[in-house]
Amino acid sequence: MNNPLDDLISLAERAYVRLEAEQLIEECLIQANPEPFNKLLEELVMAGTESLGILREILSVIRSVKSTLNQEGMGVQHDLKKTLSQFGVAIPRDPSGGAQESFWQIYHYGFFQEMKAHAPWLKMEDQLLLEEICNEAGKQVAQIARRLVLLKGLEEKVMDWITGMIYQIAHSSDLYPQTQQTPFHH
């Protein structure tokens, strides 16, 4: 039977690790540098399989941040669609993709030119305003994309180490004791 105090301490430790991981990941995203995170990973790996639970918690944090960033990106797309619709312009759909593809097309350089081609009736001042709006949305999407790429790298590293530790645990001699062979006596 588990001691309630031990359970509480374990929960507090996990909450602390999660908070620390969130702050470290945010720092890495702001600096666009995974090195502080890599150092933490190295320490956890050196600690051995006991850090498996912490790695799982960190993976959960990474996935949560990725989800938040994806939502931010979809918000940029929604806001841009809404703004464009006020000018009578729609984001052209990429026939090969769906909503996600139209989100990423905001990032590419010629996006405003595509918008302009689909709305030749716009006055010059409206075109200039839309160009500014499209450029700003492109900058936001580019920043989100860079952060998502960094997070994907962090996620892959953590998943690799988790997989390695699980493999190590599964193949450790402690888990599968060697059976002793006894010679047959006649």
| Tens digits of residue pLDDT in 6-53 | 777 777 887 888 888 899 999 999 999 999 999 989 988 898 888 888
What pLDDT was estimated at residue 17? 82
Burial of 85 by CB count in 10 Å (0-12 exposed, 13-18 middle, 19+ buried)? exposed
Distance CA 179, CA 103 (A): 58
For residue 92, name the pLDDT band (cuts at 50, 70, 90).
low
Q: What is the pTM of this model?
A: 0.76
Is the pLDDT at 133 greater than 80? The verdict is yes
Q: Contact 73/102 with Cβ under 8 angstroms? A: no
What one-letter code names the amino acid at 114? Answer: E
pLDDT at 33: 95
Q: What is the mean pLDDT of residues 154-177?
A: 84
Q: Residue range 50-66: average pLDDT?
A: 92
Q: What is the pLDDT of residue 107?
A: 61
Mean pLDDT check: name the lowest of 10-14, 61-65, 99-103: 99-103
- Per-residue tokens: 13: 């430790």
Q: Is 130 exposed, middle or buried (0-12, 13-18, 19+ CB in 10 A)?
A: buried
Whole-number Å distance between alpha carbons of 4 and 10: 10
> Does residue 182 register a pLDDT over 60?
no
